[in-house]
């Protein structure tokens, strides 16, 4: 596992890129698009915000886990920037329980930062507000995108219906809904989603395991017995 303890810029991406060929999976298990992982391959420079940097190694499977707060627009931009450089087919996966970052989260992030007498210097990517919704069991997850439109709208209204009460806020609700209903986003994610409840059983059957993000901790001893290697990527610095 790679963890940053100095609030970023410690060179995690370099370490992950160096060791990735020795592992079957590289799993991003938390964080969001506020992260910036830079990898140099020859004269080429790659900057990752959401996609695990292990994607540069063709034999490695990469996973965005359910602990990540996912900005769908940012994900599409990143995938497009890597088009022609890496192959995503059959080796890039996203948990169906990853929390989505919506326009409202970015607005709230910026508003709180501006209002605060002691701003903390966030990246204004909506990460904090999205995690707050995740903890409160609110918001939309990647798997929700494939619900019938009426049911998806109902879930949006349950979490963010208060935005409709004021004209000045209404646009954030409408923009978020339109984003989630965008066929381009749904088409891309449909090919990448993993069922977080069932995927570790599939991997167990094949002699593989996704540790910590898609499988319970008690399964770790069996993973060790199988001598399978998995590389877990964390986006942010940590503190105790």
Q: Tell me the pLDDT tens digit for each residue of 112-153.
A: 888 888 877 788 889 999 999 999 999 999 999 888 989 999
Confidence class of residue 227 from pLDDT cuts 50, 70 and 90?
Answer: very low
- DSSP label at residue 229: -
- pLDDT for 65 beyond 80: yes
Name the segment(s) of the chain with CATH classification 1.10.300.10: 103-186
Q: d(Cα 234, Cα 238) in Å, to the nearest integer?
A: 9
**Tokens (6 digits) for 89:** 């087919």
Name the segment(s) of the chain with CATH classification 3.40.440.10: 2-98+192-237
Lowest mean pLDDT among 42-46, 176-180, 198-202: 198-202
- pLDDT for 224 beyond 50: no
**CATH of region 2-98+192-237:** 3.40.440.10
Q: What is the pLDDT of residue 118?
A: 80
Does 126 appear as a known binding residue?
no
Does 13 appear as a known binding residue?
yes
Does 123 appear as a known binding residue?
yes
Does 137 appear as a known binding residue?
yes
- DSSP label at residue 98: P
Helix (H, G, I), strand (E, B) or coil at 68: strand
Does 12 appear as a known binding residue?
yes
**Mean pLDDT to the nearest integer, 173-202:** 75
- pLDDT for 86 beyond 80: yes
pLDDT in tens, 11-60: 777 777 778 888 888 888 888 888 777 888 788 888 888 998 888 888 88
Q: What is the pLDDT of residue 174?
A: 87
Q: What is the pLDDT of residue 74?
A: 92
Q: d(Cα 4, Cα 29) in Å, to the nearest integer?
A: 13
**Tokens (6 digits) for 222:** 């069996």
What residues are annotated to the active site?
9, 37, 134
Instruction: List 118's β-bridge partners, or say none.
Output: none
80 backbone dihedrals φ, ψ, rounded to 5°: -65, -35
DSSP string of the chain? -EEESSSS-S-HHHHHHHHGGG-SEEEE-SB-TT--EEEEETTEEEEESSS-GGGGSTT-EEEE-TTBEE-HHHHHHHHHHHBTTB--TTTEEEETTPEEP-HHHHHHHHHHHHH-SS-----SSSHHHHHHHHHTT-S-BGGGGGS-HHHHHHHHHHHHGGGGGSHHHHHHHHHHHHHHT-HHHHHHHHTTEE-TTTHHHHHHHTT----SSSS-GGGHHHHHHHT--EEEEEEEE---
Q: What is the pLDDT of residue 237?
A: 43
- End-to-end alpha-carbon separation of the chain, Å? 17
Q: d(Cα 109, Cα 96) in Å, to the nearest integer?
A: 25
- pLDDT for 61 beyond 60: yes
- pLDDT for 195 beyond 70: no
The domain defined by 103-186 carries CATH number 3.40.50.720? no
* pTM over the 0.85 mark: no
What sign results for the dihedral spanned by CA atoms 98, 101, 104, 108?
positive
Q: What is the pLDDT of residue 212?
A: 36
Does 139 appear as a known binding residue?
no
Q: What is the pLDDT of residue 205?
A: 46
- pLDDT for 71 beyond 90: yes
Does 90 appear as a known binding residue?
no
Percent of the chain with pLDDT over 90: 18
Does 115 appear as a known binding residue?
no
- pLDDT for 75 beyond 90: yes
What does the mean pLDDT of the chain come to?
78
């Amino acid at each position: 596992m790679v963890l940053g303890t100095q609030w970023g810029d410690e060179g995690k991406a370099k370490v992950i890129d160096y060791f990735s060929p020795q592992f079957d999976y590289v799993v991003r298990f938390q964080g969001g698009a506020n992260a910036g992982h830079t990898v140099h391959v020859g004269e080429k420079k790659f900057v990752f915000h959401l996609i695990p940097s292990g994607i540069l190694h063709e034999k490695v499977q990469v996973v965005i886990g359910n602990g990540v707060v996912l900005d769908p627009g940012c994900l599409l931009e990143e995938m497009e920037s890597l088009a022609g450089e890496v192959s995503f087919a059959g080796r890039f996966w996203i948990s169906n329980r990853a929390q989505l970052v919506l326009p409202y989260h970015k607005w709230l992030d910026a508003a709180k930062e501006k209002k605060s007498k002691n701003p903390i210097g966030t990246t204004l990517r909506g990460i904090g507000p999205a995690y707050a919704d995740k903890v409160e069991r609110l918001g939309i997850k990647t798997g929700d995108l494939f619900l019938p439109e009426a049911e998806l709208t109902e879930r949006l209204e349950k979490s963010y219906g208060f935005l409709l009460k004021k004209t000045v806020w209404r646009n954030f609700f409408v923009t978020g809904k339109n984003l989630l209903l965008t066929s381009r986003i749904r088409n891309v994610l449909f090919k990448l989603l993993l069922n977080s409840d069932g995927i570790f059983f599939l991997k167990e059957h094949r002699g593989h395991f996704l540790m910590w993000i898609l499988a319970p901790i008690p399964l770790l001893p069996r993973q060790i017995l199988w001598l399978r290697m998995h590389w877990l990527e964390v986006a942010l610095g940590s503190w105790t």
